[in-house]
Amino acid sequence: MAATSDLKPDICVIGAGSGGLSVAAGAAAFGVPVVLIEKGLMGGDCLNYGCVPSKALIAAASHAEAMRSGMPFGIKPVEPDIDFTKVMAHVKGVIGHIAPLDSVERFRGLGVSVIQGTAEFVDKNTVEVGGQKIRARRFVIASGSTPFVPPVPGLDNVAYLTNETVFELKRLPRHLLIVGGGPIGIELGQAFRRLGSEVTILDAGPMLGREDPELAGFATTALLEDGVTLRDHVTVDRVERARNGVRLVLNGANGEEMVTGSHLLVATGRKPTVEGLGLEAAGIKHSARGIEVNDKLKTSNPRVFAIGDCIGDLQFTHAANYHAGLVLRAILFRMTAKRDNSVVPRATYCDPEIAAVGLSEEEACRRHDDIRIMRWPLVENDRAQAERDTAGLIKVISTKKGVVLGAGIVGPHAGELIHPWTLAVTRKMKLNAITGLVFPYPTLGEISKRAAVNYYLPSLASPWLRRIIGWLRRFG
């Protein structure tokens, strides 16, 4: 018989990061009893060690860069006097402004029962936290991820940084070595460079290897112009302690070589959190790649869903929020919707930003026999000219009949400019949905319309169309 103190909510959520908070807030809004368990900081990675501090650091770095780049506007460039302690205080301040929204107090106020502690399944229907048993109708695991640290010999013998510690730095690194040229390494590398560090980024493959190379090229060029050293296609064979820092022993096209820096940041990807959750006791299949789920985000235990980073799929805050919406619909309304990764946009907040949604050119070529690609360069956008920020382009991919398959943008505010294309991909719209819109002038957003119009340009020369115009002309 169940102990009287057992909690029996409708939903028990494990993890109060982006995904878990969304499920808990959504359920509470409908008046559904929900327990939320968090073992660390409320807000998870995004608020404390991820999106928020990284974007706050990037914002400070952009201000520094703006001071250096006034010349084309007739403003004398100055080398900014950077007080790193105050930069980091700004980063903490931004976290502090957002933290109340994710806090225990706010969630209790919403009607969520928040428990601080480590949740572990003890059987298929029960989670235990600090001796308290919770038997919920449904469970949602949103346990997130942690930095993946590759097993490079010597790494354990040096002090290295990850995203969990880099925002705790008290002094600006003199020379920051970054292993990993993905979004995290590139964003932080450019930010630290602009704040005054020497920065070297290393990757075993190309930089920003998951992005369309045509778009990524603009970002890597900008980083090189900023003075970041990029070393692609090199592997780190060994890590050694050096005088006042760290030495990496590399293996690349030139054979063995060394690079020495004052600090090392490991940014080689994220490891889904599957440990310590008692997944075996609950009969939930998982591997190092994450908790296994079906296309409705259900695990091998039909009572349990898993969302966000812990399923090892798209590791973004907005993906975790999207998952949260899907499982809430399934749990509260029995409306099962399949997750569709093609509708989830991605953005990297370097300068220029890169954003994309749907299929890339390469994926579209693999899946469709006949595609169309439309481009529009920022250099032909009046606002970009006025801002003197013309590096970038939009690239739109459609079927032969003009159904939008995907879009990618590189340039200022690409993360904002991708929205209409997310709508187009999600709703499977045709390009005329974009050509029919009126965009305010002069805005960067006009590049979307210009690219879409490109699709119809060949048809303007069609003899058939010209014959119709000629015929209509006869009516006056």
Which positions touch ligand FAD (CB under 6 A)? 14-20, 37-40, 44-46, 49-51, 54, 118-119, 142-145, 163, 184, 273, 276-277, 308-310, 315-318, 320, 349
Tell me the one-letter amino acid at 446: E
Structure tokens at 315: 């590791």
139 or 218, CB closer to ligand FAD?
139
Q: How far is the CB of 300 from ligand FAD (least distance, A)?
A: 18
54 or 200, CB closer to ligand FAD?
54
HSE of 440, CA atoms in CB hemisphere, 13 A: 1
Structure tokens at 73: 């506007």
Of 107, 167, 33, give the one whose Cα is nearest residue 116: 107
DSSP structural state of residue 350: S
Rounded CA-CA distance 436/304 in Å is 44
Structure tokens at 201: 């980024």
Cis peptide before 33 (omega within 30 of 0): no
Cβ contact 313:322 at 8 Å: no
Q: How far is the CB of 188 from ligand FAD (least distance, A)?
A: 7
Q: How far is the CB of 50 from ligand FAD (least distance, A)?
A: 3
47 or 152, CB closer to ligand FAD?
47
Q: How far is the CB of 55 from ligand FAD (least distance, A)?
A: 6
Name the one residue in this structure whose structure tokens are 């969302």: 307
Q: How far is the CB of 322 from ligand FAD (least distance, A)?
A: 10
26 or 361, CB closer to ligand FAD?
26
Q: How far is the CB of 414 from ligand FAD (least distance, A)?
A: 13
Q: Give buried/exposed letters for 106-143 (b at 16+ CB in 10 A, else e).
A: bbeebebbbbeebbbbeeebbbbbeebbbbbebbbbbb
Q: How far is the CB of 302 from ligand FAD (least distance, A)?
A: 21
145 or 390, CB closer to ligand FAD?
145
Secondary structure element (H or E) that encloses residue 122, with its range: strand 120-123
Sign of CA dihedral 209, 214, 215, 220: positive
Of 293, 314, 335, 322, give the one whose Cα is nearest residue 426: 322
List strand residue ranges (DSSP E) for 317-422, in order: 346-348, 353-358, 371-377, 393-399, 404-411
Q: How far is the CB of 80 from ligand FAD (least distance, A)?
A: 24
Rounded CA-CA distance 389/374 in Å is 21
46 or 451, CB closer to ligand FAD?
46
124 or 375, CB closer to ligand FAD?
124
45 or 446, CB closer to ligand FAD?
45
Rounded CA-CA distance 134/3 in Å is 10
Rounded CA-CA distance 2/75 in Å is 73
Residue 234 dihedral angles phi and psi, to the nearest 5°: -125, 145
234 or 310, CB closer to ligand FAD?
310
- In the bound state, the residue with its beta carbon closest to ligand FAD is 17
Q: How far is the CB of 193 from ligand FAD (least distance, A)?
A: 16
Rounded CA-CA distance 261/198 in Å is 9
186 or 452, CB closer to ligand FAD?
186
Identify the three-state secondary structure at position 423.
helix
Q: How far is the CB of 317 from ligand FAD (least distance, A)?
A: 4
DSSP string, 319-359: HHHHHHHHHHHHHHH-------GGG--EEE-SSSEEEEEE-
Of 27, 356, 389, 49, give the one whose Cα is nearest residue 216: 356
Q: How far is the CB of 51 from ligand FAD (least distance, A)?
A: 4
Q: How far is the CB of 76 from ligand FAD (least distance, A)?
A: 33
250 or 311, CB closer to ligand FAD?
311
Structure tokens at 65: 């860069």
116 or 229, CB closer to ligand FAD?
116
Name the one residue in this structure whose structure tokens are 């294309």: 421
